[in-house]
Structure 1
Amino acid sequence: MVHRMLAGFVALLLSSAAFGQGLQASPAISYTRDVQPIFTEKCVACHACNDAACQLKLEAAEGAVRGASKVPVYQGERSKAVAPTRLFYDAHGEAEWRKKGFYSVLDNQGSQAALMARMLELGHKTPLTPNAKVPDEIALGLNRNNMCPLPHEFDAYAGAHPMEGMPLAVTGLTDQEYATLRGWLAAGAPVEYQAIKPSASEARQIAEWEALLNRPGASEALVGRWLYEHLFLAHIHFTGGEQGHFFQWVRSRTPSGQPADIIATRRPNDPPGTEFFYRLIPVQGVIVHKTHITYPLGPQKLKRVKQLFYAGDWQVTTLPGYGPRHRANPFETFEAIPAVARYQFMLDNAEYFVRTFIRGPVCRGQIATDVIRDNFWALFQEPAFDRYVTDARYRGKATPLLAMPGQNDDVGSVLALWRAYRDKRNEYEKLRREAYADMPAPGWSTLWTGNDNALLSIFRHFDSATVTKGLVGDVPLTMWLFDYPLLERTYYQLAVNFDVFGNLSHQLQTRLYFDLIRNGAEVNFLRLMPAESRQGILSDWYQDSGKIKMWLDYENIDADTPSGLALSPHDPKHDFGLQLIARTASINASPDPINRCQGAYCSRPQMTEEFRNAEQSLSRLVSRPAAGLKVINQLPEATLLRIERQGGQRQVYTLMRNRAHSNVAFLLGEAYRYQPGLDTLTLQPGVMTSYPNFMFNVPAAEVPVFVDLMSQAKDDTARFERIVERWGIRRTHPQFWRYFHDLSAFILETDPVEAGVLDMNRYENL
């Protein structure tokens, strides 16, 4: 039963075309029918995306054939950038990847079996104790140093690490799965390459969109470039398209109607080097959640784009180039396109753009993410009240000041570059402060409320982060207010211009400038607060060493001009949050009776009685500081709760730990700014992370007992361990994979466009 459920989920994630052909009876082992489903179920959770262990990517046959590398993608201390190694982009075919230093894991080595076979054998013959903690000597998580042994190094590896075969530190393959993979490898590991192909409806829409972005003319070329640079990370899905089919924009040497010949530049705004065409190609392989940043296209979006960009009376005389200057300042590069069109396009799907830099490749690891608070809300400025959009003279003064660092990767110049761009940014903040002081006092109409993208909640999980529509949780400590210059800069700095294969200088400049972006978003929000309260609120955000940062690096705030909002003088920020919730109920995608319980009912009214009772009990854990709920100190960042009622129905919740800090203004030393007594928990229905840190499976009838024991556990590790032993799903749980993949199955049922295999690299050893 469990195997059939997982196989069904795997089938939906894989190519429908591939599975259609793979279902034919065959005595031989088929890669598509027999092998890839095993990889998807037992391997992809660790072997996918940029942080695939040893760069061994098993989402598709091309990754398995490519093999492994000793060079990690994430290596922030390197002094020189490394060559990109993006599957399907930077090389094609086994021979090309061998030239780039990848070695085979599938080929037999003389009398020795293939490296993959030996790794699987090591894991299969040394199983872990069921539902016990993984031995401490096995390093897990981001701190693990993957040794990536070459075939001739395997014996030494196995001798030194006898418990570290594959799958690593988790319930392994079944006997049948193991036999299938051994048989396939012994037969020479044959693969079939079965590319996903668009349906007839998708092909028609692809042709329409490619025709639009490739229209002749200078103005049309500039719009095509801007749209491409803003959608290159998107997994496009079409109105009326096939479930599980996604597409991505590329630049190709070949026009529509011909096979795409991808121009694989490091960044989407690097020089293409030749004539090119914008093309939409299918996303190949298994969809993994952490890279699955979705964007809808269809007839209404096509009409909207034409209305925004092609209906106005504007022209381009000379097209901009692709050099460092144009990469550093997109406001100058695209200044001919009306700013209102650019901003409104981003607002229409604001969650997509925020997700690209909150969940994208820059946000990997604690140092990358400690620039933001653990939870905050993001709001957007109405275009009609955005001075950059409405005032050409102001725009002309501001544009030269909006350039961003990261184009010069000379390690010795980091501090000089940082100071130069900091000063330029602060000059812009001064210009903005003075310009907005002459405008009417900001009120509720200052906030854009065009659709449910207008309200976003961001959660940091220590070494990753996520974003969702709606106002989730209690009123947070900080809020961000994006205007167009801030939203565009954030997107370009952290998505378009960020090079995951870059060196220390590039990545350090990116991280340092993000600190200024956060400060700018907070300062924008402060203008909504009463003038006399702004400095006090800012001081609360930047306690202790944060005050040094304010003095050293930040521009002064406007503490004089009035706000147009009527807010409580005792706690205006909290009052603003409550009024915001009340005023935006019609567009708030996440009404939250669990964390913002009012009265006796702390559950979603649409739930069955059993689940309402469960949510009522769980609400006792949330929005309480750790000083009164000591068990918070033993919980990881993102814990998944699977609540199951009799009959098999279940709901899934994410229990997020919000760590408190005196400030988040520095690159290093987070532990010194940590305020554990102020930590809180937020409970949100659904899966709110790509990286589950742990999971509990609790029968609905036992939720009150679970909550009671959690409340009583305090700092008593023995009590907490008893909770884990009773309801926890450890890495070694006999049914670990059933429960782990059921999280993805739940996404598939509740929000199918967003479904993908979750990552277990950060699943903790509780």
Structure 2
Amino acid sequence: MPITNQAANRTTPARVRLAIKPLIWLIAAMMTGCAALASQQFEDLFGESSPKSRWVEADSFEGRVFHQDVQPLLEQRCVHCHACYDAPCQLKLTSPQGIDRGMHSELVYDGTRLLATAPKRLYLDAHNTEEWRAKGFQPVLNERRNTSEANLQASLLFRAITQRQTQGAFHQTVLPDSYDFGLSRDQQCPTAEQYETFASQYPDWGMPYGLPALSDSEYSTLTDWIQRGGLLPRPAPLNGNLQDQLQQWEQRFNAQGDPESEPYKRQALVSRYIYEHIYLYSLYLGDDTSTRFHLVRSRTAPGEPIDIIATRRPYDDPGVAIPYYRLVVDQESRVAKTYIPFRLNEARWDNWHSLFYGHPYAVTSLPGYDEEIASNPFITFHDIPADARYRFLLEHSLETIMSFIKGPVCHGQVAVNVINEQFWVFFVNPNLHYGSEASDFLESQVHHLDLPAKNSSNSLPISSWISFSDQQKEYLSAKSAFIRQEMEANHILLDTQLVWDGDQQTGTNNPNAALTVMRHFDNATVVQGLLGKPPKTAWLIDYPLLERIHYLLVAGFDVYGNVGHQLVTRLYMDFLRMEGEVNFLLLLPKEEREKVRRYWYRDTSTTIKDYIFSDLISLDINSAIPYRSNQPQMELYRLLEHKLAPVLNRDYQPQSGALSGAALTTLNSLENLRGSGLHQLPELSLLLVTRQQQPLELISLVHNRAHANISSLLDEEDALRPEEDTLTLARGAVGDYPNVLLRVEEEQLPELVKQITNMQTSADYSALLDRFGVRRSSKDFWQVSDTIGQFYQQQWPLRSGILDYNRLQNR
């Protein structure tokens, strides 16, 4: 409350403050008393609350009802907002376990947390209803007497959807200010006992929140299920084929034989390396896409029930002599923002086996889990040749980069304002740099490659930043000398041969050789291919950089850490971004490098300029590319696009879809717009194009907000340059958090494009929505949402997931 903060104390007279304090205590006592009274009334009516078992077999009547009727409805109407760590009140409706866990008023994303908090991760940090209640989670289904009336009235889920039904249809195009759609809004997490008071204070806040109510049949489906007790199915047993594949892969992931033998140690170290890099992935076994798995560490060996080892980070001490790597069924709904699909098939295993076991090297002892060692992969895995590690990451570099984006950080401007609005990513050719010399170099540099996670989840930002800054400078200086030495010794030139071509010479043609990253304010997307117009910046990533980004943003990041840990992570990522940019700049003419870089970092402070433009990599060697134009950066983009043409994924290009040639020409003209009224558009607009009212194409309009620089941590607004804004068009849903849904008949595309082209004011944007928008208040919202979801799944059967609606605007 404002009257208790420091600013208020400076301006409020002492006598008034003395009078206010008893009032605060009185109000608090009244609120506590009201809550106690409400709880007592519920006990009188429905009995005492205590955790209950609501589990049934998957093939029972109630199990089938849940899977066939209830779960699809929850996914269509509820999971859009209740899926990730940032789900309101931590209520995850993505699985029976999430429903049973319930809700908690504590914020997971807390930018003011001075000390790390205890994790509360579903499946990991508690394993039954009683344990979750002990951690402060409140039920959303009835845990009192088992009667029809109690099952309804003591269910928060029922009370919330009933409140929305009572509210009825919207009567305003733009919803009133009584709604708060901000991501940082104050959470309201009433229990069923408190719901009557909550509903009187917030009469419009039924569920779905700020969206059309459920239909009568949908409401009936949920109500009937809740009235019968809200029974939840246990996981179904695996079919025989999947069980056989699971056993085979678990055998591959777990070392066999004598624990003191060298082959055992090698397999144990390789499995640890694989686990620490793919533990976030949704794994499919072979060609079967019916069931997804996660790779976990278990106290129990294959063949026994899994006992998951829950640690903050995948490399924390497991607390057992031998951790076993097991495959556990992923029971979550397929949510786009956390979904990283990955096939474990024989071709992949053959490649991994060749990389890690096809060449002789010795593992004489296994590394421990001391934080100084475990947080630094260059120490932990130095026995595995760097070439094998790099090629392993390159093989699935899309997923490697995707895990930076789709990990535990479901939102956070500070987390992603370290990257530009759109940029292309290339990789250093592994054939040039990753032999024994590179391994020796990395081994000599391991203590310059420490990462913030070594300071655990409680960090002091300033002292840590200075330390890591000094280490980064030392490393880049040594790297510069090493590159010069290698170029001279092996007659390597600074030209496009430095860029990985996706293994075209072997016929592999890996499309992960070129990626596009797009930022949408507080979240981001990565796709294969070179999407959009040539960007302002690009990265050229080598092995040490790729590995450090993974251990910084994925393996080493703790979403439950303190504010210092989160800030240091962001600040360290500045170093890594600049390293990737510098690698790319080395391909430009020597005299162009600083000029281009100064453009990327316009209007930065003197302190930052001193760091950025110091000789971070003093490689005074000219590019060997024979540039022929006065725009070498654009020419370099064209050269790389030509080099990678055989492997480029063009699925996301609008021309790969079903639009007519005329429609494509019209739509693509939007990518030529610059500045003007583009700043009125939100970060991500999803456009459903229809032909005779039938879905034809799904197009993403990505708003690239231009920046003079991205060196500011907390004052991003001043760095924006709206006159330089652009649009990128992509086929499908390339972002997981749409801000607005649009719908247009193909023949009306010229009209839509004209309105966007001529847009200048917020009134113009409102007119665009009046004509083509499907606002959150629209009676057609759910019908369009369902069509988009179904069409998205048809377009991308393995890549698609449920979109997140927490960022839908109200304009």
- SS of residue matched to 1:586: helix
Structure 1 position 117, deviation (Å): 1.9
Q: Is the 8 A contact 2:423 2:517 kept in 1?
A: yes
Between 355-364 and 325-334, the greater mean CA deviation after superposition: 355-364
Q: Cα deviations across residues 492-533 of structure 1 (Å, max 9, x unaligned)?
A: 110001111111121111111111110110111111111111
Q: Which amino acid aligns with 1:446?
A: L
Give the whole-Å Cα distance in 2 for the aligned partners of 1:647 and 1:700. 9
Task: Tell me by how many angstroms 1:683 deviates.
Answer: 0.6
Q: Is 1:350 matched up with 2:391?
A: no
Closer/same/farther in 2, CA of residues 279 and 554 from structure 1, 3 Å limit: farther
C-alpha contact (below 8 Å) 1:430/1:555 kept by paired residues = no
1:576 is aligned, of 633, 636, 653, to 636
5 Å matches for 1:241-640?
Answer: 241=288, 243-274=289-320, 275-362=322-409, 364-386=411-433, 390-409=437-456, 413-438=460-485, 439=487, 440-450=492-502, 451-545=510-604, 548-552=607-611, 555-556=614-615, 557-558=617-618, 560-568=620-628, 570-590=630-650, 604=655, 611-627=660-676, 630=677, 632-640=678-686
Which residue of structure 2 aligns with residue 681 of structure 1? 727
CA shift in 2, pair 1:558/1:122, >3 Å: same
Larger Rg: 2
Structure 1 residue 612 displacement after superposition? 2.6
- The match for 1:709 among 732, 755, 773 is 755
The alpha carbon displacement at 1:607 in A equals: 5.0
Q: Does the 8 Å contact 2:378/2:442 carry over to 1?
A: no
1:658 to 681, 690, 704: 704
Q: Distance in 2 between matches of 1:534 and 1:424?
A: 24
Which SS does the other structure have where 1:296 is aligned? strand
State how far apart, in whole Å, the 2-side matches of 1:524 and 1:184 are: 58
Q: 1:733 aligns with which of 778, 783, 798?
A: 778
Residue 31 of structure 1, CA deviation? 3.0
- Measure how far apart 1:325 and its partner are: 0.6
5+ residue gaps, structure 1, are: 1-17, 595-603
Of the candidates 195, 199, 212, which is equivalent to residue 239 of structure 2?
Answer: 199
Q: Does 1:760 align with 2:805?
A: yes
Q: Hey, what's the Cα distance between the residues in 1 that align with 2:553 and 2:157?
A: 36
Shift of the 323–527 alpha-carbon distance from structure 1 to 2, 3 Å rule, reads same
Note the C-alpha offset of 1:131.
Answer: 7.3
Moved more, 480-489 or 523-532: 523-532
CA distance in 2, matches of 1:331, 1:388: 15
Q: Match of 2:94?
A: 59
1:136 corresponds to: 177
Closer, same or farther in 2 for the Cα pair 1:560/1:655, shift >3 Å?
same
Change (3 A) 1:591 1:262: closer
Identity of aligned residues (%): 35
> What is the alpha-carbon distance in structure 2 between the residues aligned to residue 750 and residue 196 of structure 1?
28
Shift of 1:83: 1.6
Instruction: Give, in whole Å, the separation in 2 of the partners of 1:500 and 1:165.
Output: 29
Q: d(CA) in 2 for partners of 1:62 and 1:391? A: 47
Asked whether the equivalents of residues 532 and 559 of structure 1 are also in contact (C-alpha less than 8 Å), the reply is no
Shift of 1:19: 12
Q: Are 2:653 and 2:730, in contact at CA under 8 Å, matched by a contact in 1?
A: no
CA distance in structure 1 between the partners assigned to 2:208 and 2:614 by the alignment: 51
State the distance in 2 between where 1:637 and 1:196 align.
40
Q: Indicate which of 215, 225, 250 corresponds to 1:210.
A: 250
Shift of 1:323: 1.6
Quote how far apart the aligned CAs of 1:160 are: 1.9
Cα pair distance change 1:408/1:400, threshold 3 Å? closer
CA distance 1:108–1:132, change in 2 (3 Å): farther
Alignment correspondent of 1:10: none
Structure 1 position 652, deviation (Å): 0.4
Partner of 1:600: none
**Using the alignment, how far apart are the partners of 1:170 and 1:261 within structure 2?**
41
Instruction: Give, in whole Å, the separation in 2 of the partners of 1:177 and 1:301.
Output: 43
SS in 2 for 1:622: helix
- C-alpha offsets along residues 634-656 of structure 1, whole Å, 9 cap, x if unaligned? 11001011110126141001000
Partner of 1:671: 717
Matched to 1:635, the amino acid is L
What is the rounded CA distance, in whole Å, between the counterparts of 1:455 and 1:72 in structure 2? 37
The amino acid across from 1:623 in the alignment is N
**C-alpha contact (below 8 Å) 2:368/2:374 kept by paired residues:** no
Whether the 8 Å CA contact 2:81–2:87 is kept in 1: the answer is yes
TM-score (norm: length of structure 1): 0.91
Tell me the amino acid that sits aligned with residue 31 of structure 1. F
Distance 2:74 2:646 in 1: 43
In 1, the alpha carbon distance for the partners of 2:594 and 2:154 equals: 67
Residue identity opposite 1:734 in structure 2: K
Structural RMSD (CA): 2.2
1:574–1:436 CA distance, 2 compared to 1 (3 A): same
Between 104-113 and 738-747, report the one with greater CA deviation. 104-113
Query: Which AA in structure 2 matches 1:719?
Result: D
Q: In the aligned structure 2, how far is the partner of 1:710 from the partner of 1:542?
A: 30
Contact (CA 8 Å) 1:362, 1:495: kept in 2 or not? no
Deviation, structure 1 residue 122: 1.4
- Mapped to 2, the partners of 1:456 and 1:546 lie a distance apart of 31
- Does the CA-based 8 Å contact 2:653-2:731 persist in structure 1? no
Greater relative contact order, per chain length (Cα 8 Å cut-off, separation 6+): 1
How far did residue 466 of structure 1 move? 0.4
Using the alignment, how far apart are the partners of 2:299 and 2:555 within structure 1? Answer: 21
User: What does residue 196 of structure 2 align with?
Assistant: 155
> Match for 1:484: what amino acid?
Y
Cα distance change, pair 117–221 in 1 and its aligned pair in 2 (3 A): same
Letter in 1 for 2:226: L
| Distance in 1 separating the partners of 2:589 and 2:544 | 24
Cα offset, 1:318, TM superposition: 1.6
Unaligned runs of 5+ in 2: 1-55, 257-263, 503-509
Distance between the aligned counterparts of 2:596 and 2:612, measured in 1? 18
Whole-angstrom distance in 1 between the partners of 2:242 and 2:172: 46
Matched, 1:86 2:121: yes
Tell me the equivalent position of 2:21. Answer: none
Offset of residue 593 of structure 1: 6.9
**What is the alpha-carbon distance in structure 2 between the residues aligned to residue 436 and residue 546 of structure 1?**
31
Cα 1:647/1:759, change in 2 over 3 Å: closer
Match for residue 696 of structure 1?
742
Describe the shift of the 1:412–1:711 C-alpha distance in structure 2 as closer, same or farther (beyond 3 A): closer
CA distance in 1, matches of 2:58, 2:295: 26
Give 1:7's aligned residue. none
Shift of the alpha carbon at 1:665? Answer: 1.2
Matching residue's letter, 2:534: V
- 2:459–2:565: 8 Å Cα contact kept in structure 1? no
SS for the counterpart of 2:92 is coil
